[in-house]
Structure 1
Amino acid sequence: AAGFLLRDHDRKDLRDALISTAKTSKREDLRGMAMAALWDAGERQVAVALAKPASRSRSLPTAAWAGLVQAADEQKWEHLLVDEASFRRMQWGWIE
């Protein structure tokens, strides 16, 4: 939700909250999704910088989101990373 509000409603006050979540969240599984939300909101350099160390996380969802951010940076993707299908696959481990 914070990523959507930052991206679509210019809620700049949520930028720092997403960065804090990506760096220090007590819920490890939220860190990677916060990085992807930062990417989607246009904070791409910040997201890539946070994704490099997070790609070695013990939390599979965090490592997967971090890898997706890194791939998006390397391939210069322009589409959003956090969508319903990506969320279900990476955050919940669903296979369709």
Structure 2
Amino acid sequence: MSVQVTRPWRVYADELSDARFSMVWNGVAMAGKFELFTDAADKVRWRLKAGNGEVIAQSQAYASKDAASKGISSVQSNAAGAAVVDLTEAAK
């Protein structure tokens, strides 16, 4: 699974069944949500939106809604404890 993160957010997963996350950005807590959608190639993707509606992460294309939902579950269970690896210095 690949995830594109578009902003430096801290994401804290909770166990809400509607796939909401608690997010903190610059010390301000914001409710977030996952959205499932079908792309132009008729594949299913998810995106994570902040409380202000900004897309902060988007998934790869999945063949089914079930597979995309499992991708969301994986992010929910793994994001809170994920390490941040800075590869920007290694590229220089």
Task: Report the structure number with the largest CA radius of gyration.
Answer: 2
TM over 0.5: no
Task: Please report the TM-score for the alignment, with normalisation by the length of structure 1.
Answer: 0.28
Task: Please report the TM-score for the alignment, with normalisation by the length of structure 2.
Answer: 0.28
